[in-house]
Amino acid sequence: MMQTVLFVDDELSIRNAIERMYLERDDVHCLFAASGQEGLDLLEKGNVWVVVSDNMMPGMRGIEFLSKVRGMRPDTVRIMMTAHADLTVAIDAINKSEAYRFVTKPWDNKELMDTVDEALMRYQLIKSLGAEDESMYLSLAQTVELKDHYTKGHCDRVAGYAVALAKAAGLRDEMLNDIKHGSWLHDCGKIGVPEVVLNFPGQLSDDDYEKVMQHPRWGSEVARQARMSDTVINIILYHHERFDGKGYPSGLKADKIPIEARIVAIADVFDALYSDRPYRKAYDFDRAIEILQEMTETHFDQCLMGLFLPIAEEVRANG
Ligand SMILES: [Fe+2]
């Protein structure tokens, strides 16, 4: 299915400029409307992934239009294009979740295209997660592994360790499937982080580091919109929290961190240490466990760690 973006602006010159800008992109199908009403008509007819709307238009304002889009097609990602003078309106629109992002006028071509591309990815992700299809989740996890240059199978191994640990911790059977899915998808928010940033060799700038740190929040928002279970959302949102409260994005401490996220945090780091990475070989088993134990005081739940050791031993025994 073709990625479709609808641009709504009452000024012809603006619609033309955007059309020219997208001429080279044969992977994106652009629709144009001169008013909110025209936009709604187009929306009715076909599948629109992303809507970009001006605010100051005769007739229906952009904000009203976007709110109608939200009612009609909740999964369509909405972007507001606004003049600087209109910025407070745009921020208000985001806070009331009428819009996902805004772009200011006059716009920068690259910035607009990047924002739209990110919104397109978001739409696709919402659709994949909302499909309630396991094979879709796994293929999504594999897409992230490729993008982030993990070793193949990382997410699936993390799922195996996490489910074993959840069983050992006595979690209810009904949770185990969600823990598997959450483990697969824990880094799905990295879809929203540019590849150059993810694979940057060396120290990231503060700005880029900030982008990487957004992946739990970005991913969990998408999972929430796709109406996934709380267990899955918690794993995506909290897998970088630390037991001492120095993790991100929320800085939750100890058992304030949902247990499913504490479990996946251990499984994730163990696999990271115990498998080859593009930039280093795997640690041998004893060293991997040593590092894990050194991190326990600051990063992990000590009780869970105690339950994990025999599981890790079994992993080694099975080669
Ligand atoms: Fe992560």
Reply yes or no on whether 96 is catalytic.
no
The Å distance, Cα 216 to ligand 1 centre, comes to 7
CA–CA separation, 98 and 66 (whole Å): 6
**Residue 273 and residue 15: Cα distance in Å, rounded?**
51
| 157 closest CA partner among 302, 282, 17 | 282
Bridge partners for 280 per DSSP: 277
What is the whole-number distance in angstroms between the Cα of residue 187 and the centre of ligand 1?
A: 5
Residues by chain with Cβ below 5 Å of ion ligand 1: 187
Length of the chain in residues, anyone?
Answer: 319
Contact status, residue 72 vs residue 80, Cβ threshold 8 Å: no
Which one of 127, 152, 167, 190 is the catalytic residue? 190
**Hey, what domains does the chain have and what are their CATH numbers?**
3-127 (3.40.50.2300), 134-317 (1.10.3210.10)
Q: What's the pLDDT band for 21 if we cut at 50, 70, 90?
A: very high
The half-sphere exposure of 190 on its side-chain side, counting CA atoms within 13 A, is 22
pLDDT of 116 reads 95
**pLDDT grade, residue 95 (50/70/90)?**
confident
How many Cα atoms are found within 13 Å in the side-chain-facing hemisphere of 40?
16
Question: What is d(CA 185, CA 183) in angstroms, rounded to the nearest whole number?
Answer: 5
**Nearest-10 Cα torsion for 150, 192, 175, 314:** 10
According to DSSP, the residues that pair with 5 across neighbouring strands are 30, 50
CA of 14 relative to ligand 1 center, distance in Å: 39
Q: Say whether pLDDT at 149 is over 80.
A: no
Question: Each residue of 181-218: pLDDT tens digit?
Answer: 999 999 999 987 877 788 777 788 888 888 889 999 99
This prediction has a pTM of 0.84
Closest to 33 (Cα-Cα) out of 7, 54, 14, 59: 7
Measure the CA–CA gap between 302 and 281, rounded to whole angstroms.
27
How far does residue 68's CA lie from ligand 1's centre (Å)?
Answer: 35
Q: Which of 86-95, 210-219, 288-297 has the highest mean pLDDT?
A: 288-297
- CA dist 64 and 48 (Å) reads 18
Q: Using the predicted structure, report yes or no on whether residue 260 has a pLDDT greater than 80.
A: yes
Distance CA 111, CA 117 (A): 10
**Residue for token digits 């992230």?**
144
Calculate how far, in angstroms, residue 103's C-alpha sits from the geometric centre of ligand 1.
28
The share of the chain scoring above pLDDT 90, in percent, equals 71
Compute the distance from residue 112 Cα to the ligand 1 centre, in Å: 27
5: tokens are 């973006």
Across the range 8-16, mean pLDDT stands at: 97
